[in-house]
Amino acid sequence: MFKKITIFFFISLFFACGTLYADDVLDLHKQEQSLTIPKRVEMAKSQTHNGARSDDWESSNPDDLKPLADSAWLFIYEVGGATFTETVVFNKEIKYLDDGTVAVMCVTESGMAGMAKYIDLPDMEGNGFSVFMLGTILNKMFDFKIAGNMASGNYFSQTVSTGKLNGPYDLIGFKIISSEGVEQPEKIKGGYKATENLWVKGVIQTDSGPIDGVFYKGGDNTTSRGDRVVWGYFYASSDDVSWGSKDNPDLYVKIWFDVSGRIDVNYFHVSVPNIDVYSDYPYDGSYDKKGTATMDERYVRHEFQKQ
């Protein structure tokens, strides 16, 4: 099951970020530079064939890193059919490095120290964030752009012993925020109206039988282009199972209202039991589409056209 996140965990992570010494920052910078952005560009180019750029611009403006500073993010990526999650907490302070560029230090749930920069991203049509985390077996890199409280991009890894770079793999992320200010939808026919006229439902198939997942709405925002982004997750109620908790998500939901009128309802499985998912648009009391998210098939997508 997804690990429960407590306030003590976040306090300890922020403390760990604050104890990175100057030598640690310098070592992270050298390690990150040794991976070389052009090398990642070449990998992305060879696998996507979309003409990734080879320039390696890095920002020297602290404002570029403000979206990450003093925040925590949950990242989800899939390698070889297996889904992995990583919680990353970013320090409040934005540092100038010896080459004049800026970075913000971070630490992961598993204790890996890291740093984030704002750079020119390969094959992603512009600038974005690159997070490098130093490990003993694997170094990890998250390259992504942010839209509201969500991120999407690529995950790379590097085998420390050989220097081999692996990837890119698809990556998504969710900013971990308080629900204050976000109106929580009421339960209707076992599901929830995530927006005015889009209904979602998650049924968790537990050992004791199926239970309706509780939907927690995390955010509702609009991109600079005009796309609307809604996200949240389903979790099992503690009234139904002993392991149920709002701090133990089972199924993430990302709803994308594209400016073209296309609506994507994306379900991401982060649990053990199978979860049946239902979507209805426009809401009329009967679901339009159904799918099942499992440990083998983590991703389910329902598409609609705006009416």
Instruction: Please determine, for residue 47, whether its predicted confidence score (pLDDT) is greater than 50.
Output: no
- To the nearest whole number, what is the mean pLDDT of the chain? 81
Residue 180 belongs to a domain = no
172 and 151 in contact (C-beta within 8 Å)? yes
Residue 130: per-residue pLDDT: 93
Q: What is the pLDDT of residues 217-247, one digit of tens each?
A: 988 888 778 889 898 999 999 999 999 988 7
Residue 159 belongs to a domain = yes
Q: Which of 175, 199, 214 is the last residue of a domain?
A: 175
Residue 180: per-residue pLDDT: 58
Instruction: Please determine, for residue 55, whether its predicted confidence score (pLDDT) is greater than 60.
Output: no
161 and 19 in a single domain? The answer is yes
**Domain hosting residue 35, numbered range:** 7-175
Q: What is the pLDDT of residues 73-121, one digit of tens each?
A: 888 888 887 878 888 889 889 999 888 999 999 888 777 888 999 998 8
Separation CA 172–CA 26 (nearest Å): 28
Q: Which of 175, 196, 225 is the last residue of a domain?
A: 175
Helix (H, G, I), strand (E, B) or coil at 63: helix
147 and 235 in a single domain? The answer is no
Q: DSSP assignment of the chain, as one string?
A: -PPPP-HHHHHHHHHHHHT--HHHHHHHHHHHHHH-HHHHHHHHHHHH-S-------B---GGGGTTTTT-EEEEEEEETTEEEEEEEEEEEEEEEPTTS-EEEEEEETT--EEEEEEEEETTTTEEEEEEEEE-SSEEEEEEEEEETTEEEEEEEEEETTT--EEEEEEEEEEE----TTSPPPPEETTEEESSSS-EEEEEEEETTEEEEPEEEEEEEEE-TTS-EEEEEEEE--TTT-TT--TTS-SEEEEEEE-TTSEEEEEEEE-SSS-EEEEEESS-SSS-SEEEEE-SSS-EEEEEEE--
240 and 171 in a single domain? The answer is no
